[in-house]
Amino acid sequence: MNTKAKINIKDFSDKPQEECAVFGASLFTDEAVGVCYIGLLALQHRGQESAGMAVVHEKNAIHCYKNMGLVSEVFDKKKMASIAPASVAIGHTRYSSKGTGLKANAGPFVTEYLTGRIAVANNGRISNAGEIREYLLTLGISFDATADSEVVSSLIAYHITKEKTPILGIKKAVEMLSGAFTLVVAMCDGTLYAVRDPNGFRPLCVGFSDKHGCIVASESCALDSCGFTFGRDILPGEIIEIKNGAITDNSARVEKNTLKRGICIFEYVYFSRPDSVLDGQSVYESRFNMGKALAKEHPADADVVCGAPDSGLDAAAGFSVGSGIPLVTGFIKNRYIGRSFIYPTQAQREAAVSLKLNPLKASIAGKRVVLIDDSIVRGTTCGKIVKSLKDAGAKEVHVRISSPPFKHTCYFGTDIDKEENLIANQLTIDDIRTSIGADSLGFISLKGLVKSCNKATVNFCTACFTGNSK
């Protein structure tokens, strides 16, 4: 049944957005602020709405600065000089999937309690944050923001006052949380704690430097950018304690029933940088494998193959190898145009999207083109890209998608909150093909996707494709 009339494709943007990134540095030098800045720059792709940093200074003081904008916009040379030097710092970049886009909701969050102060950076979504907030309000705890992370920070501070040690307080607090989270907690005495939720929905890793000390980050690419050697992934449910640039305790575990799901497979499809390795699986290698799987599952009679920048590029290389069709550069990306969402009108935002990607006519004019993209979620951007290729002279455009149809909401850190907003729930695959103007359309199978990530040491959450929440 053709249900195209039920959805206005122009009303929605086409990609899910991951909520944020976390970073923490515990050094035996005084360069934590600079290292944290570099780490946040490397993780900017995970959140571009706001950035923040909490720095532990002498005399048990934590100084926190955060604002709306990119990392380089929030932390200019003058601001960096005002918060350095320090040996301990944590950082955060945010995309607001939960809580409005206001400075008050930017991370990290600093919470004072009876015997000290903590700063908390969180990546993920806490599905029972509302219930915990109501519970803390009955204890006389007040809130200034609407973000989950403020609730988490207050909950941890409350339990630290009740338990014998900070690590027990953190353990008690996080065992009350439901959903996805990776936490970096800075104590006013300079101790850092890093926590990954017991399902391991979001990535978190630790790295070391003989010259500087220890850092933790959402992705391993940040370790590389800072000049640190990858140590290992933090295990699902693990709490590690870091002091003076070294891990001093990793015995604590979050003890609660879990869904036994594993890392969000969209980390490999779209969220993460291709030079990261998550839970033993190279992101680049997984995307390359997705392209090879697509070539086998959905071959195309075409002259060239190209990828939609950026996360479609690696899958396009794999498709080329798997199919024997030459790989070409299909688009020139303007990396200086800025973020399209800052423009005040929809027309201006759409114009900014067109400015970002310009088809390379020399590669595609008169050719039958295979276009590889990572996903079709709501259905707008892919149609614009197909049209731009045909306007540039492509004879045919065959679209191949390196993820299955996105059909279900995610409660663990993306901005998809209504299933009726998902185009795969409104149209058949052939109707989607018609709506985006493609000559053919193929999605990778779930089996093919999972096999493409077969070096990962953990399970995967695929609920956005299957609806299976167990």
CA 37-43-49 angle, 5° bins: 90
* pLDDT for residue 450 is more than 90: yes
Look at residue 311 in the predicted model and tell me its pLDDT.
86
How far apart are the C-alpha atoms of 277 and 137, rounded to whole Å? 40
Which residue has tokens 């036994």? 260
Q: How far is CA 457 from CA 112, 237, 263, 448, in A?
A: 38, 15, 10, 17
**Mean pLDDT of all residues in 281-306:** 98
Q: Which pLDDT tens digit goes with each residue over 108-164? A: 999 998 888 999 999 988 989 999 999 999 998 989 888 889 999 999 999 999 998
How far apart are the C-alpha atoms of 280 and 35, rounded to whole Å? 24
Percent of the chain with pLDDT over 70: 88
**Mean pLDDT of all residues in 329-358:** 70
Percent of the chain with pLDDT over 90: 70
Look at residue 411 in the predicted model and tell me its pLDDT.
67
Q: Picking from 6-15, 159-168, 262-271, 423-432, which range would have the lowest pLDDT averaged per residue?
A: 6-15
**Mean pLDDT of all residues in 324-336:** 91
**Does residue 203 have a cis peptide bond before it, meaning omega lies within 30 degrees of 0?**
no
* pLDDT for residue 428 is more than 80: yes
Indicate the pLDDT class of residue 96, thresholds 50, 70 and 90: low
**Mean pLDDT of all residues in 218-242:** 97
Name the amino acid, one letter, at 441: L
Look at residue 339 in the predicted model and tell me its pLDDT.
52
Higher-pLDDT residue of 343 and 352 is: 352
Tell me if 301 sits within 8 A of 368, measured CB to CB: yes
Look at residue 323 in the predicted model and tell me its pLDDT.
98
Tell me if 160 sits within 8 A of 170, measured CB to CB: yes
Look at residue 346 in the predicted model and tell me its pLDDT.
61
Q: How many CB atoms lie within 10 A of CB 231?
A: 16
How far apart are the C-alpha atoms of 313 and 445, rounded to whole Å? 19
Q: Which pLDDT tens digit goes with each residue over 58-94? A: 777 999 999 999 999 999 999 999 999 999 999 999 8
* pLDDT for residue 238 is more than 80: yes
Higher-pLDDT residue of 113 and 330 is: 330
DSSP 31: B
User: Where are the domains positioned within the chain?
Assistant: 20-258, 272-466
Q: Which pLDDT tens digit goes with each residue over 394-419? A: 999 999 999 999 888 876 656 665 78
Tell me if 292 sits within 8 A of 286, measured CB to CB: no
How far apart are the C-alpha atoms of 171 and 456, rounded to whole Å? 27
Look at residue 417 in the predicted model and tell me its pLDDT.
56
Name the amino acid, one letter, at 58: E
Look at residue 89 in the predicted model and tell me its pLDDT.
98
DSSP 157: H
Higher-pLDDT residue of 434 and 422 is: 434
Determine if the pTM surpasses 0.85. Answer: yes
**Mean pLDDT of all residues in 215-225:** 98
Please provide the average confidence, as pLDDT, over all residues in the chain.
89
Looking at 20, 221, 226, 453, which residue is catalytic? 20
Look at residue 164 in the predicted model and tell me its pLDDT.
81
* pLDDT for residue 100 is more than 80: no
How far apart are the C-alpha atoms of 379 and 12, rounded to whole Å? 7
DSSP symbols for 287-311: HHHHHHHHHHHS----SEEEE-TTT
What are the φ and ψ backbone dihedral angles of 326, each rounded to 5 degrees?
-60, 140
Indicate the pLDDT class of residue 7, thresholds 50, 70 and 90: very low
Indicate the pLDDT class of residue 342, thresholds 50, 70 and 90: low
Look at residue 13 in the predicted model and tell me its pLDDT.
46
Question: Could you tell me the two tokens for 173?
Answer: 């607090």
* pLDDT for residue 353 is more than 70: no
Q: Which CB contacts under 8 angstroms, 24+ apart, belong to 450-454? A: 450/265, 451/289, 451/293, 452/268, 452/286, 452/287, 452/289, 452/290, 452/292, 452/293, 453/265, 453/268, 453/281, 453/286, 453/289, 454/281
Catalytic, 64? Answer: no
* pLDDT for residue 236 is more than 80: yes
How far apart are the C-alpha atoms of 399 and 300, rounded to whole Å? 9
Indicate the pLDDT class of residue 343, thresholds 50, 70 and 90: low
What are the φ and ψ backbone dihedral angles of 161, each rounded to 5 degrees?
-70, -20
Of the CATH numbers 3.40.50.2020, 3.40.30.10, 3.40.50.2000, 3.30.930.10, which one belongs to the domain with range 272-466?
Answer: 3.40.50.2020
Tell me if 403 sits within 8 A of 374, measured CB to CB: yes
**Fold that domain 20-258 belongs to in CATH:** Glutamine Phosphoribosylpyrophosphate, subunit 1, domain 1 (3.60.20)
